[in-house]
Amino acid sequence: MSYSRVYPQTADLQPKLTGVHRKMAKKKKAPKTDYVVKKAVQDFARANDMMVGSDSYDAINKGIHAMLEGAAERAKSNKRKTLKAYDF
């Protein structure tokens, strides 16, 4: 008995590529800068008789980063290089 009869060639079982390749969606990168002072967040939480989870800091940074990006886009669309309070 030959090896090829027992195990069919895997190349025949592979789907053929038709030239159409799907690109994966790019994930937004987390900001490299920490916009928040952790101690200030902890002090706020303690003042409100709460605690802060360790994953909260990343979420706060992402939220601030998104807010800054939106403000930057608004300033650019108004042909300014200065972020102003009303951009937020």
- For 45-73, how does the pLDDT look when each residue is reduced to its tens digit (9 = 90+)? 999 999 999 999 999 999 999 999 999 99
Residue identified by tokens 């008995």 is 1
In a domain, 81, yes or no: yes
In a domain, 15, yes or no: no
In a domain, 11, yes or no: no
In a domain, 64, yes or no: yes
Phi-psi region of 79 (alpha: psi -120 to 50; beta: other; left: phi over 0): left
- What is the Cβ-side half-sphere exposure of residue 8, based on CA atoms within 13 angstroms? 5
**What is the pTM assigned to this prediction?**
0.61
Q: Which residue has the higher pLDDT, 78 or 19?
A: 78
In a domain, 78, yes or no: yes
Determine the 3-state secondary structure of 53 from DSSP.
coil
Give CA–CA dist 36/2, Å, rounded.
Answer: 67
In a domain, 85, yes or no: yes
Give CA–CA dist 32/35, Å, rounded.
Answer: 9
In a domain, 8, yes or no: no
Give CA–CA dist 88/75, Å, rounded.
Answer: 10
Give CA–CA dist 9/21, Å, rounded.
Answer: 24
Q: Which domain holds residue 60?
A: 36-88
- The answer to which of 1-5, 63-67, 82-86 has the lowest mean pLDDT is 1-5
Residue 84 has pLDDT above 90, yes or no: yes
In a domain, 14, yes or no: no
Q: What is the pLDDT of residues 10-49, one digit of tens each?
A: 555 555 556 555 666 666 666 678 888 999 999 999 999 9
Domain count, the chain: 1
